[in-house]
Amino acid sequence: MNKAPWYFLLLLILAGESVFILPFVLSRVFRPTVLEVFGLDNFQLGLCFSVYGVVALLSYLFGGPLADKFAPRKLIAIALWMTALGGLLYATFPSYSVLRILYGYWGFTTIFLFWAPMIKATRIWGGSNSQGKAFGFLDGGRGLVGALFGLIGVTVFSLFISSEISETSIVDSKAAFQQVIWASTGIVALVGILVWFFLKLEKQTHEKIILERLTATQVKEVLKLPSVWLLMIVILCAYVGYKITDVFSLYAKDVMLYSQVQAAQIGTLLLFIRPLIGVLIGVLADKSKTTFWLLMGFVISFFGSLLFTTGIITSSASVLFFVSILIVATGVYATRSLYFAVMEKGQIPLKLTGTAVGIVSLIGFTPDIFAGPGIGYLLENSLGAVGHQHVFWMLALFSFIGGLAAWNYHRLVSTI
């Protein structure tokens, strides 16, 4: 099976982040603004993410086998176009009730049709010797795409909102943020067109990775693999960490006392850190042991989270704030880059990648359901710095559990 060309991976990177910009990236970079223009508190926004997560949960299970029956190109392109349609509604600033329905819709378009095909296509590109690079470059590249979207969004937004104005009209905020939504929607649709025409596999490759039909025996084969069960825990804990990075821009506003634009710039800074970590960790993983670097990611995020739990990061400690962000982001993005890269070492069959991804994601991505409300509850129940400290205790706990699972996965593949 010939290795797919580089532009194949570049298209996956572009598509892989574009599809999540409307439901997640915008609210990560512009969280204080999103809360204001939609009239939400942190708990309500968390519930929107939960609706997304409930729909996504079923979508992982049934969408996984779909990726083993149809070409990635078709599923990914359709997913992008359907997600962009949701952006048209998002730009009207719908009510809270409608917003929850919209997030449920996005849970379907971004997961049922998109997630497993993207992972399977990335694994195909990586072959047997470059899984670290494949998934490290995928996540790092997605981070770069997200950072560019964030940078463009902040630039557009700042043209309408001056950081020197202490009280900004909500009408001005809506007008500025609407321009960001329109631009994002158009680009997502355009990426769908590029994928449809250029993300093509050779006929020989297509025949080797597509199943005629999926049987119960094949599903049982996947469920018997201990690597699948450990991977569930690894992904769950790593994904909690990733969800918690959403609060950095809010921490900047609530604790560091930054303006809305400055807080959005913190969110964008994180998006630029992500590609650097993804590429670096991907190269290191292929030169040594992928599972070892996965473990190190959890260790780093654990100790980084403890810095925030102490309460020493205040408005007078800007340098420490940036250093601590860098430490936590390094650990979180390292684990995120590598958790699917270890599938090859865990001897999960390539042809059943979609099914395996669906099964592990069923548990692994449940933070889409509970993390948002959990974080929102902690922030609303204890206002200010204390609420944020509680959120980082949550990160420390899941980093510790994830580290234990990663250690066991490392030991497992060493015996295979």
Q: How confident is the model at residue 168 (pLDDT cuts 50, 70, 90)?
A: low
Cα 360-99-182 angle, rounded to 5 deg: 95
In the block, residue with structure tokens 């079923």: 58
Contact 337, 21 (CB under 8 A): no
In the block, residue with structure tokens 């991976």: 9
**What's the topology of domain 6-415?**
Growth Hormone; Chain: A; (1.20.1250)
Does residue 237 register a pLDDT over 60? yes
Q: How confident is the model at residue 306 (pLDDT cuts 50, 70, 90)?
A: very high
For 316-329, the pLDDT digits (tens) are 788 998 999 999 99
Measured CA to CA, the distance from residue 350 to residue 206 in angstroms comes to: 12
For 261-291, the pLDDT digits (tens) are 788 778 778 777 888 898 899 889 888 888 9
Residue type, 122: T
Secondary structure (H, E, C), 364-393:
HCCHHHHHHHHHHHHHHHCCCHHHHHHHHH
Measured CA to CA, the distance from residue 292 to residue 295 in angstroms comes to: 5
For 97, counting Cβ atoms within 10 Å of its Cβ (0-12 exposed, 13-18 middle, 19+ buried), the class is exposed
Supply the pTM of this predicted model.
0.80
What pLDDT is attached to residue 165?
A: 44
Nearest to 185 by CA among 256, 290, 281, 106: 106
What pLDDT is attached to residue 206?
A: 54
Q: Name the H helices within 161-259.
A: 170-198, 203-209, 216-223, 226-244, 248-254
Token pair belonging to 220:
């049982």
Output helix, strand, coil percentages for the chain, rounded to the nearest 5.
80, 0, 20
**Which of 47 and 216 is assigned the larger pLDDT?**
47
| Domain boundary assignment for the chain | 6-415
What pLDDT is attached to residue 5?
A: 78
For 109-153, the pLDDT digits (tens) are 999 999 989 998 898 888 777 788 889 999 888 878 877 887 788
Does residue 38 register a pLDDT over 90? yes
Q: What is the CA radius of gyration of the chain?
A: 20
